[in-house]
Structure 1
Amino acid sequence: MASDREIFSLSGPLKLTVIDWTNAHHRRSIAASLVQGVYILERDRQENRQSANALAPPWWEFFNFQLVHVLVDPDDLSFFGSIYELRLPHSSCNYLAQTPPKYVVAFRGTITKPGSSSQDLKLDLQFMKNKLQHSSRFHLGLQAVQNIVSKGGGENIWLAGHSLGSAIALLVGRNMVKLGYHLEKYLFNPSFASLPFEKIKNEKLKHGARIAVSVITAGLAAAVKLNSQKPHQDDEFRVLSAWIPYLFVNPSDPICSEYIGYFTHREKMMTIAGGKIGRIAAQNSIASIISTARGNKSEACHLLPSAYVTTNLGPCQDFKQAHGIHQWWRPDLRLEYKLHQYR
């Protein structure tokens, strides 16, 4: 039996009957709902729910989107992504204050149900090892986005994802920036491949631990630079800095909360030793450095030069609620916003 969270009429943002595309809450809610649509597509597949009783379509049709393509993992045949096209009534196009997306490419995260959990958890492990860029899901997602861009350019294309899906969307977005396309990005509870220092309550201990890791990271990076590290890594980081994805994090979620500390700590490190240690540590992880030194190409793709971080400061009952996609379309959220730009 389907849970209430799968049924749009019971848990979706039903109040968004009139969309204001300049409203941040509306844009966030729609992006999150389209990601939820991917989750429910896969659940429909697992439960063999056919078109007559499928639960997924309302999650995009309510906002006048049409599903034009489903991304399928070749290893387990699960649905991991969707391409949506906005089909607005012609009359509404005359009074839009801001151009809405023409296409949205959305990626789901891990589902702990039989049918996809094995492959999902395998990819979670690949992410932790900074090897998600070798996965078929990333390559299929990148190819899908490149196909859309080749037809109509890179304007009005959104990328969206949740958890593992955010990691895939982030990888796709980074690669598109290198090709000259800055796509609008909505990353919900994005995974951060690091120890959850943000959970340390003692501020002095937490700050000291972060400094120690930064120094170790910078030292390791310098040690392997002559043989392994990319010669123009800093230039690439600066190229990426003009691209500012939207990150949505919850401090009670250890999977994504480290992004809060990552940006805050980076700003503090820029005041130490001329910022050199901070710049190196911001672009590298210990795992990626060690892997690269062993001859295995590895890039800490979760590390971002710039981002617009939205933090949910509301109370959460448990990890499931703190990590869930549903929180991001609630109308009563208590949010904190901060823009972080790499300089």
Structure 2
Amino acid sequence: MDASTKCFGIAGPTHIAMNIDWDKEEHRRCIVASILKGTSIHTNKKYKELAPRWWMSFHFELYRELKEDDQFMFGAIYRYKPPAGEPRHPSAPHYVFAFRGTMLEHDRPCHDLYHDWKVVTNDFRNCRHFNRAVDELSYILIKPSSTPATGVWLAGHSLGASFALDGGTLMIARDLNLPTFLFNPPQVSMAPVINLGLSNKAKNDLYDFSYKMKYILGKTKKLRRHSERMEVLFEKLSPWQPQLYVHEGDVVCQGFIDYFEQRERLLDRYPDITLLAMMMSYRDMISYLIGEDKEQPHLLPSARLWKVKKQSHSEDAHGLKQWWMPNNALGWSIYERGYKYIWKGKGEKGLQGCAPGLV
């Protein structure tokens, strides 16, 4: 790819750089996506000088590169500095933690592939790079001049979204609710195969059967304690509502689309079954039975899902460029925003799936 795709003045969201409105979701999304793009460019030595404009155009400075002793940069921390003489906008962040996606053109792609494997095996928390990110988060949130949790944003694209997702999960477990932006987050599941090979009716029938099977297994003596533990975890995570930006043509994140849309559909039909089954995964159940302690990161009680349809634009479905495009270019009108899924807890309906334009 030539340098023009990495030049902010040519490829970036210049349509908002001169008139930023931090209260608008569209502007927040475009800015965060731009910072992520700049992070990827900054990692590429060949184009490194083009990177700063991707964050400086929105009044951020590079605060710290995220890397371990091996000097492998997997992300960066940016600090917001409002223009001279202007106060910080109350909706603007203090810091943005940006985690880039996989870069095979990196001089050490094996590290990214190792991280990808950690996603597949759901083993991020045993990764020293992830632990370094958590240490940096903890320091900024608890240092003497501590920053409020709402002032620290987590953001990631593709592989980086897994860093942000697991980081946000750990922070909410500590009662720190961080705004989180996940672009094309990977979800390891059979969803791409199911969507490719089955009709809608067959797909719905398969999910009906799967949810009923999870419910039955969750009620067994061997797995009852696991299901009770997952319910406690859901209650703990429920205040956190990460923003998920997905494209229905992207196989990497199709699992997230199916997870939220199918559980909303099934909640209306089988509320009791769905409330338990939505907290369970077959991989978790197997892990529990063999003595491992894991939860699949896609099992989110609450989230806001922003979905782009296949026919909306011609850009790469998994690429970052689409996410700094304006709403109308993504096929979103003023009445078509995000779907908001809110976990309410056992004993109530349990999940609120709002129609576009109502959230």
Q: TM-score, normalised by structure 2?
A: 0.85
SS at match of 1:104: strand
Of stretches 218-227 and 85-94 in structure 1, the one that deviates more from structure 2 is: 218-227
The aligned counterpart of 2:354 is none
How far the C-alpha of 1:313 sits from its partner, in A, is 2.3
SS at match of 2:38: helix
The aligned counterpart of 2:353 is none
How far the C-alpha of 1:103 sits from its partner, in A, is 0.7
Determine the C-alpha separation between the residues in 2 that align with 1:33 and 1:224.
50
Determine the C-alpha separation between the residues in 2 that align with 1:84 and 1:177.
21
Deviation digits for residues 41-72 of structure 1 (CA, Å, limit 9, x no counterpart): 2112xx4x6xxx62211111111100111111
How far the C-alpha of 1:217 sits from its partner, in A, is 3.3
Q: Is contact 1:314-1:333 (8 Å) kept? A: no
Of stretches 260-269 and 168-177 in structure 1, the one that deviates more from structure 2 is: 260-269
- Equivalent in 226, 229, 235 of residue 226 of structure 2: 229
1:26 maps onto 2:27 in alignment: yes
1:187 maps onto 2:179 in alignment: no
The aligned counterpart of 2:110 is 118
Q: Is contact 1:110-1:120 (8 Å) kept? A: yes
The list of structure 1 runs, each at least 4 consecutive aligned residues, that deviate by more than 6 angstroms after superposition, is none
- Equivalent in 296, 302, 306 of residue 306 of structure 1: 302
Determine the C-alpha separation between the residues in 1 that align with 2:19 and 2:268.
47
How far the C-alpha of 1:221 sits from its partner, in A, is 4.0
Q: 1:292 to 1:73 in 2, by over 3 A?
A: farther
SS at match of 2:75: strand
The aligned counterpart of 1:161 is 156
The aligned counterpart of 1:54 is 49
The aligned counterpart of 1:149 is 141
Determine the C-alpha separation between the residues in 1 that align with 2:213 and 2:113.
29
The aligned counterpart of 2:11 is 11
Q: Which runs of 5+ in 1 are unaligned?
A: none
Q: Is contact 1:137-1:168 (8 Å) kept? A: no
1:216 maps onto 2:210 in alignment: no
Amino acid at match of 2:301: P
The aligned counterpart of 1:42 is 43
1:251 maps onto 2:243 in alignment: no
Amino acid at match of 1:24: E
- Equivalent in 286, 289, 302 of residue 285 of structure 2: 289
Amino acid at match of 2:162: A
Amino acid at match of 2:322: Q
Q: Is contact 2:241-2:302 (8 Å) kept? A: yes
The aligned counterpart of 1:176 is 171
Aligned residues: 332
Q: 1:224 to 1:289 in 2, by over 3 A?
A: farther
How far the C-alpha of 1:78 sits from its partner, in A, is 2.2
How far the C-alpha of 1:184 sits from its partner, in A, is 0.7
CA RMSD in angstroms comes to 2.4
Q: TM-score, normalised by structure 1?
A: 0.88
Percentage identity across aligned positions? 31
Deviation digits for residues 259-317 of structure 1 (CA, Å, limit 9, x no counterpart): 222112112332455x3432232222212221232122221112211111111125378
SS at match of 1:80: strand
The aligned counterpart of 2:79 is 85
How far the C-alpha of 1:187 sits from its partner, in A, is 0.6
Of stretches 28-37 and 152-161 in structure 1, the one that deviates more from structure 2 is: 152-161
Query: Which structure is higher in RCO with an 8 Å CA cutoff and minimum separation 6?
Result: 1
The aligned counterpart of 1:261 is 258
SS at match of 1:67: strand
SS at match of 1:283: coil
Of stretches 115-124 and 188-197 in structure 1, the one that deviates more from structure 2 is: 115-124
The aligned counterpart of 1:69 is 64
Deviation digits for residues 146-173 of structure 1 (CA, Å, limit 9, x no counterpart): 1111122313111111111111101111
Of stretches 4-13 and 247-256 in structure 1, the one that deviates more from structure 2 is: 4-13
1:101 maps onto 2:93 in alignment: yes
Deviation digits for residues 174-199 of structure 1 (CA, Å, limit 9, x no counterpart): 11111111111111011112112344
Q: 1:340 to 1:230 in 2, by over 3 A?
A: closer
Q: 1:147 to 1:230 in 2, by over 3 A?
A: farther
Q: Is contact 2:223-2:285 (8 Å) kept? A: no
- Equivalent in 313, 321, 333 of residue 316 of structure 2: 321
Determine the C-alpha separation between the residues in 2 that align with 1:118 and 1:218.
40
SS at match of 2:252: coil
